[in-house]
Amino acid sequence: MGRLMRNFIQSILKLLNSLIGMVGLGMILYGVWLIRVWQREMGDLPFEDSDHLAPWFIYTFLGVGVTLCVITCLGHVAAETANGCCLYLYMLFVFLLFMLEAGVTADVFLNRDWEQDFPKDPTGSFNQFKDFIRSNFEMCKWIGLSIVSVQGLSFLLALLLKALGPHQYYDSDDEYAPDRVPLLNNAVIPPPYVVGNPVVGSKSDSWSVRINEKVNQANR
CA distance 172 to 42: 69
pLDDT tens string 16-67: 999 999 999 999 998 888 888 877 776 666 556 555 556 788 888 889 999 9
pLDDT at 25: 93
Q: Which residue has the higher pLDDT, 31 or 214?
A: 31
CA distance 79 to 157: 9
Q: At what angle do helices 137-164 and 125-135 cross, to 10 degrees?
A: 90
| Phi and psi angles of residue 153, each rounded to the nearest 5 degrees, phi first | -65, -35
CA distance 20 to 64: 11
Q: Which whole number is the average pLDDT over 85-110? A: 88
pLDDT tens string 146-157: 988 999 999 999
Amino acid at 161: L
Q: Which whole number is the average pLDDT over 66-87? A: 89
Q: Which residue has the higher pLDDT, 200 or 162?
A: 162
Strongest mean pLDDT among 5-9, 70-74, 127-131: 70-74
Contact 22, 10 (CB under 8 A): no
Maximum pairwise Cα distance, the chain = 125
pLDDT at 89: 92
Q: Which residue has the higher pLDDT, 176 or 32?
A: 32
CA distance 178 to 57: 55
Per-residue pLDDT at 75 exceeds 80: yes
pLDDT at 117: 72
CA distance 105 to 27: 18
Per-residue pLDDT at 212 exceeds 70: no
Per-residue pLDDT at 178 exceeds 80: no
| Phi and psi angles of residue 75, each rounded to the nearest 5 degrees, phi first | -65, -40
Per-residue pLDDT at 193 exceeds 60: no
Helix (H) or strand (E) holding 141, with range, is: helix 137-164
Per-residue pLDDT at 10 exceeds 70: yes
pLDDT tens string 113-157: 777 777 777 777 788 888 888 888 888 889 888 988 999 999 999
pLDDT at 114: 77
CA distance 75 to 55: 31
Q: Output Rg (C-alpha) for the chain, integer angstroms.
A: 35
Q: Which whole number is the average pLDDT over 104-119? A: 78
Q: Which of 62, 59, 66 is nearest to 93 (CA)?
A: 66
Percent of the chain with pLDDT over 90: 17
